[in-house]
Amino acid sequence: MAWKGLHISRPARLSRRDAQLVVDQEDGEVSLPMEDVAWVVLDSPQVTISGSLLSACMEAGVAIILSDERHTPSGMALPFHRHHRQASVAAMQVGLTQPLRKRLWQALVVAKIENQAAVLAQAGKPVEGLRAMAGRVGSGDPENIEAQAAREYWGLLFEAFTRSDEADLRNSMLNYGYAVLRAAVARALVASGLLPCFGLFHHAAANAFNLADDLLEPFRPIVDRRVVALAAAEDPAMPLRLEHRRALAAILNDDIRLQEKTVSVLIATEMAAASLVRAMESSSPAVLSLPRLRGAGAA
């Protein structure tokens, strides 16, 4: 089972040798079994990658995350759909009824808000407001409780903070972490036979990852928790540094609770995607298995 990730921040040549992923850099060469690798972040413009390795990564379901000149994740490469039930799963997904879509979105929003409350609790902030909001989310979230919860959440979590401030280091950290998680969620959806472009709630015509953005929601607080720790001793006016990017790329190896088990965030994305297929098949949002941070949903 794939479980390792690579964050390449220096000039390198990536290639394939037998069943190994080979990283050749100025100070030496490292190789890893392809079957162990789940994601690769290319965080340097001076990285070359062979066509043979690209093909092998797609065959093995490895997500490749590309960064721009500002070291912000800007794209990803994923394999064409290779699930053994691809056609039937895709047909089921496209044919979902609107009431089921709304109830699935309701479950995702509730889980997100409960995890946000858990982050606040761990930071020593009041959580009563958010927990009350989680109980008010209706099918399809017609009152947009998600947005109301977000306003309260960000106001409590950080001082002098707005999510739209691109110059704030905390936003740079959040966006980087979310992009890494989004790639992992998209990878998991493809592996489960789902089409990432067809969402439950997100439906932008230009977005190839609407469903990934739906399933990402309850995972976002995992990044928020890491950013709280990383930003504690930092000046918000400082730029995003290599050590920040490495710490955020490694978030897929963090432990999280799901289905009464402790698993890595990477495994949790796979389990959540598989449970989404089961929820669609059974027309029951109760089948969804979503991550839970410590303290989520507690009274």
Q: With respect to residue 110, please indicate whether it lies within any of the assigned structural domains.
A: yes
Spatial contact of 131 and 121, defined as CB atoms under 8 Å apart? no
Domain identity same for 118 and 140? yes
Q: With respect to residue 278, please indicate whether it lies within any of the assigned structural domains.
A: yes
Domain identity same for 171 and 277? yes
In the predicted model, what is the mean pLDDT of the chain? 92
CA distance 157 to 127: 10
Place of tokens 């799901």: 258
Domain identity same for 114 and 57? no
Domain identity same for 47 and 94? no
Domain identity same for 144 and 236? yes
Which residues are 263's β-sheet partners?
A: 256
Domain identity same for 164 and 258? yes
Express each pLDDT in 79-128 by its tens digit.
Answer: 765 666 778 998 999 999 999 999 999 999 999 999 999 999 999 999 99
Express each pLDDT in 122-161 by its tens digit.
Answer: 999 999 999 999 999 999 999 999 999 999 999 999 989 9
pLDDT of residue 76: 87
Express each pLDDT in 244-263 by its tens digit.
Answer: 999 999 999 999 999 889 99
The H or E element spanning position 15 is strand 12-17
CATH number reported for the structural domain that contains residue 36 in this entry: 3.100.10.20
The domain tally of the chain equals 2
pLDDT of residue 95: 95
Query: Which of 18, 49, 77 is a domain's end point?
Result: 77
Domain that includes residue 137, residue range:
86-287
**What are the C-alpha distances in Å from 108 to residues 132, 212, 286?**
16, 12, 11
Q: With respect to residue 295, please indicate whether it lies within any of the assigned structural domains.
A: no
Express each pLDDT in 160-170 by its tens digit.
Answer: 999 999 899 99
What proportion of the chain, given as a percentage, has pLDDT over 90?
A: 81
Q: What is the mean pLDDT of residues 172-201?
A: 94
Domain identity same for 123 and 227? yes
CATH number reported for the structural domain that contains residue 123 in this entry: 1.20.120.920
Q: With respect to residue 292, please indicate whether it lies within any of the assigned structural domains.
A: no
pLDDT of residue 206: 86
Q: What is the 3-state secondary structure (H, E, C) of 144-207?
A: CHHHHHHHHHHHHHCCCCCCCCCCCHHHHHHHHHHHHHHHHHHHHHHHCCCCCCCCCCCCCCCC
Q: With respect to residue 158, please indicate whether it lies within any of the assigned structural domains.
A: yes
Express each pLDDT in 199-246 by its tens digit.
Answer: 999 999 889 899 999 999 999 999 999 999 999 989 999 999 999 999
pLDDT of residue 257: 92
Query: Which of 77, 111, 129 is a domain's end point?
Result: 77
Domain identity same for 53 and 113? no
Q: Please say if the pLDDT value at position 296 is more than 80.
A: no
Domain identity same for 65 and 127? no
